Each structure stands twice: as C-alpha cells, then as structure tokens.
Amino acid sequence: MYDSLQLSDTTLAKQIADIKLRKETLGQIVEKITIIEREDSLQRIAALSPADRDAFIKKLLKQLRKQEGLKDVDNNGGSGINSPFDKNTPADLFSSPSKGDWYFYNASLKSKGFNEFKTKWGNRINVDNWRRKSAIDIATGNNGGNNKDKGTKDPTTEKNAANAAAQELNYDALVANIPATQERLDSSNSLIATNMLELAKLYQSNLEDYEQAIITYEEYLKRFPNKLADGEVYMGLYFCYTKLGNTAKADYYKNLLNTKFGGTKFAQMVNNPAALNPKTKSPEATKLYENIYDLFIEGNFSKAIEEKKKADSLYGDNYWTPQLLYIEALYNVREKNDSLAIKGLQNIVQTYPSSKLKDKAQNMIDVLSRRKEIEEYLTKLQVTRETEEIVLNIPDSKPVAPKAPAATTQPTTIPKANVPVVIKDTLSKIKVISSASFSLSPTSPHYVLMLLEKVDGVYVNEAKNALIRYSKEKFYGQKIDITKDTLDADKSLLVVSMFSDAEAALTYYDKIKKDAKSEISWLPATKYSFVIITEENLKVLKSNKNVIEYKKLLNTQYTNRF
C-alpha cells in the first residue's frame, strides 16, 4: 500500500515523515517475522526422523530447482548435463516432418515446444542469463534490501548471501542449514529470541499496537522463560498494559520486575524514569559517580570498576564525565587493556568535543595505536655510552719571557670617585619568621612543591608529565627539573626545582596554581595543593610530616597566599 503512494502529492506533505517511518517499520516487522518463521521451519525439519528428513529435503530440493529453472539432479548431486554419447539424445525442438512449413508458422509445433520447454525448464520470465539472475536474486534476498534493520544481524542470512552467487541448489547445501546438533539448535533459538523481542518492541514503540506487542511478549515468555533480558520483557508488558488501562496486569509485571531485576536500568525506568533523563541530574547519582571517581584516583581500582558497573546499569552514561573517562582510560593503559583505553578516549573525543581533555585523548590514542611499534623500537635500541676523551695534563717547559726594564713612574693625582647609591634588597626587608619546626629564609634557593593527597601512582606520573610539559611551554629557556617523592603513605610530592629565591619560586607558584585547572583538569582540586619551600624546610617536613604547620607559617609570612 505504501509503495503505491505518490509522495510528490502536496496533500501528503504533512504526513510524509510518518508514512516513511511506518513503511520502514513494516519492513522491519516483515524481516523479523521471516527470520522467526524460517528458523521455526528449520527446527521442525530437524525434529523429523532421519528417513523422513531425507525424503522431505529431496522433495524440497526438486521443487526449488524447478522454481529456479534448473534441471533435476539425482540424490547424489548429479549435474543433469546431457552426455554427447547418450543414445537417448532429445529430439531437435525445431525439427518438422513436413517440408517447407516453418516452425513458427505451425501452431501445433509452437504449442508442443512451449509445453516441452516449461516441463524441462519451468516458468521463466523473459530475461537473459537465467542462472546469473537466479544467483543474484538469492544473494539479495529478492526483497530489494531496503528495509534492513541495522540493529539485528542475521548470521544465517549473511552467510547465504555471501555464498549464494557461487553455490547452486543441492542436497548438501540444504542439509547444512538444518540445526541438527544441540549447538546449532541453541544458535537458532537465540536468533528467534532476539528477533521476537525486537518484534515486540517494534509493535510497542513504532506502531503503538500494544495488544499485538503483548501477544508477542507473552509468546516470548512461553518459549524463553529463562531469557528475560534483565527484565526488559517485564518492563515492556508493564508499559503496554498500563497504556491499555489494565492496572492489575501492569502491577503484576511491575512486581516481577522489582523482585527479580530490582537493580537494573529497566526497573529504574519503571520506578524513577526522571532519573534516566539526561537533562535531570540526581544528587544521589552525582554523589555516587563522584565516589567512583575518587576510588579510581586513590587506586582502589577493583572496587571502582565494580561500583561503576552497578551505577551504569542504573543510569547508563548520563553521569559520565570526560574526567572520569580519562582516568579510567589511564587505568586501562596501566593494565595494557589498550582496546578499552582507546574506546574510552574515543568517547571523550566524540561525546565531549569542547572538553579540555580532547587533545590529550587524541594524543594518547595515537600513542596507544603505535604502542607495539614503539616498544619494539625501544627494545631493539642499543644505547652505548660514548667513549670519554682522556686528557693528560703534561707540564710543558715553557720559555721564560725576558723581563722588561723597570719603568719609572710619575706620581698621578687620583680623582675623587663617585660612590654609587646602594639599592637594598627588598627581600631583606621581610622579617624572617620561624615556628617551632620551620624557619623561612626568603633569600635562599626554593623549590615549588605539589602535594598530592591519596592519589595513585598512575595519576601521580600523569601529573608529573603534565608539569614537565607545562614548564617547557611556559618557562622556556629555564632549567626546571621535576622529581617524584613521597611524604607518607597517603601523600606524594612533585618537587619542582630550582629557583634562586622565594620571589622566583612565587612567580612559578602563582602561574601553576592558576593554570592547574586546565593542565590537570582530570584531577580534582581537592586532591592537590602547591607550596614553596627551602631545602632545609623540606628535610624538616619529610621528617615531621606537619604540612598544616608549614602552610600556617607561609600564610603568616605571605598573607594567606597558601
């Protein structure tokens, strides 16, 4: 019906979109039903006794070959080609006992020839190259191929389509499609279950035919009671019965869903559908993913992955962030799960194109895609230390220069020198402040410390790499080294060295503190802080671990700057 509509008709302008959608839906429904009926038929053939099955296949083969215009073959797969040595050679179709009477002028001969042709070759349409067209029709499924559902792959159809052009109908080919073993029977049932569930969803969502959807869902439950798709079948029945106003049935399936699949996203869709709306952010869900984020950062990977799976089953990807995906990718890199890492990084690039982590993700994808090549290169690389040039200090016997005669000098008048004004160092004006443990010395060389609180070594290394890149870009030409150290079991240190005095260290400190949100955007600000410190105070700090006391002293000297 939809194929006969003239879509160029202006009276249908407002309905064209709906018509196209319905046409596509009906095409998908036909495909699902065809697959289900075909698999059911194959299973019925498989259930026959061997003798009955063999007889049925031979009869079917004869019918199919006749429909395709192929000669019949013997049961052993004969070709049906006439031998030039066969005594029973068929008579010439155009031979005539009467002389001077042309074949096409003789109605009886034409009728006889037509009947013989039909008997031998079957019904043929007026086209060239029958065999090639037959193979093409089989390969394309003879349905135009326009209504394929991208969501379902039919392995049997794909296999037939790939081989049809090269394979003629024969006994072995038909037997190969029959699910005669338990493994093939399970595969056939799985294909039926998948297509039956999708068929029910097409009735429900696309056609809004809730009665037919219920019939399909309940037939599914009868045939596959142990394949409930995490409660999706119960949710579909609940939804359809609710739409039809049958609250008793709707409550029945809602109760089954909550009892058997209470922790799934389908139960969440029934009990709290607003929580799955991307525009609605639940405080509880947000807090849950923040905890997962912290578990990753702190190195509790097994628990983080377990909690994330549970959360994703409830909320999907609505609460994912590029930061979470990035740190999860870093974990997968550490575990050498490169495919998972690349998948997460690609998600950042595609889903969050404006994120500050997009460029980092793209760079890491490039490196991971060449990981094997890089590792092989480094393995084969032989680094040998260059031979140092040995310099021997051999004393030379140098000629003694002749002494010049002593010159007589006249006394000269030395003009009064202008004494320059001494500019006092502003740092020396700063009053040196001390505490019980620490003593500040602004004129001494300083480090800049990055203190990381409960951050796993994977992310400490990533932070170090970020600081190295940052220092090279923002402080080009300065020799800045960054080393990793620890303060205690929970606190890690990144030591940035070396600055001539407190003022030079403060210049770096102010800049990195401001830019850290973009340079290490994947690391929560609550997980790190920066201070400046002398070498002597660093030794004391590593000894007494009293970060609070040291920061308090700094804030006294530099007015709450830390």
> How many CB atoms within 10 Å of residue 132?
11
For residues 433 and 556, the answer to whether their CB atoms sit within 8 Å is yes
- Name which of 95-109, 280-294, 439-453 the model is least confident about: 95-109
Q: pLDDT tens digits, residue range 199-240?
A: 999 999 888 899 999 999 999 999 999 988 888 999 999 999
- What number of other Cβ atoms are within 10 A of residue 185's Cβ? 17
- pLDDT single digits (tens) 502-530: 999 999 999 999 999 888 888 888 999 99
Q: Say which residues have a Cβ less than 8 Å from residue 17's Cβ, sequence separation at least 6.
A: none
Comparison of pLDDT for 434 and 364, the residue scoring more? 364
Statement: residue 189 has pLDDT above 80: yes
Mean pLDDT across 21-36: 90
Which tens digits make up the pLDDT trace of 327-355?
888 888 888 888 888 988 998 888 888 88
pTM > 0.75: yes or no? no
Mean pLDDT over 56-71 rounds to: 82
Give the span between the Cα atoms of 72 and 9, in whole angstroms.
50
Q: Is 1 exposed, middle or buried (0-12, 13-18, 19+ CB in 10 A)?
A: exposed
Per-residue tokens: 131: 């065999």
So what's the pLDDT on residue 281?
Answer: 64
Asked if residue 134 has pLDDT above 80, the reply is no
pLDDT over threshold 70, residue 299: yes
pLDDT of residue 267: 84
Do 78 and 65 form a contact (C-beta atoms < 8 A)? no
Cβ–Cβ under 8 Å, residues 466 and 520 = yes
| pLDDT at position 276 over 90 | no
Burial environment of residue 380 by CB neighbours within 10 A (0 to 12, 13 to 18, 19 or more):
exposed
Per-residue confidence (pLDDT) for residue 397, from 0 to 100: 44
Q: Are 475 and 524 in contact (CB under 8 A)?
A: no
Helix, strand, coil distribution of the chain in percent, nearest 5: 60, 5, 35
Query: Out of 49-58, 76-85, 98-107, 431-440, which region has the weakest mean confidence (pLDDT)?
Result: 76-85
pLDDT digits (tens, 9 = 90+) for 453-499: 999 988 999 999 999 999 999 998 888 999 999 999 899 999 998 89
Confidence check: pLDDT of 177 > 80: yes
Per-domain residue ranges of the chain: 1-76+110-227, 283-374, 439-558
Q: Do strands 491-499 and 446-453 pair parallel, antiparallel, or not at all (unpaired)?
A: antiparallel
**The pLDDT value given to residue 159:** 47
H-type helices in 452-534, by residue range?
A: 457-474, 502-519
Contact 498, 447 (CB under 8 A): yes
Fill in the amino acid letter for 285.
Answer: A
357 touches 323 (CB < 8 A): yes
pLDDT, mean of residues 430-443? 78
Closest CA to 483 of 502, 460, 503, 504: 460
Q: Specify the CATH number for 439-558; select among 3.30.70, 1.10.1740, 1.10.3210, 1.10.10.
A: 3.30.70
Taking the CB of residue 327, how many other CB atoms lie within 10 A of it?
24
Which of the four pLDDT bands, split at 50, 70 and 90, describes residue 548? very high
